[in-house]
Amino acid sequence: MKEILDTLCQSGNVQIFNEMYDTRTGGWRGNMPLGLSHLSLICAANALACDNPGHRI
């Protein structure tokens, strides 16, 4: 999961993300973002940080 999050953070060079990720093909799908995309990114980063004691976001 961390590898996917790292890839996502590196590919959002214009600070926008597609709404969906196709795990079968590895491609981005859906419309350009609503606030939910960014909130999901923050939640995923926070969940990974919680697995790493001492690391804060």
Per-residue pLDDT of the chain (57 residues; tens, 9 = 90+): 778 778 777 765 555 667 777 889 988 777 665 667 778 778 888 888 877 666 655
* Consecutive H or E run containing 37: helix 35-50
- Give SS3 for 54: coil
State which amino acid sits at residue 11: S
Residue 6 inside a domain? The answer is: yes
Q: Rounded CA gap, 6 and 31, in Å? A: 21
> Would you state the pLDDT for residue 42?
81
Residue 15 inside a domain? The answer is: yes
Residue 57 inside a domain? The answer is: no
Residue 55 inside a domain? The answer is: no
| CA dihedral angle for residue 2, residue 37, residue 12, residue 10, rounded to 10 degrees | -10
Give the number of domains in the chain: 1
- The first and second tokens of residue 50, run together, are 């919680």
Domain range for 10 is 2-50
> Would you state the pLDDT for residue 24?
92
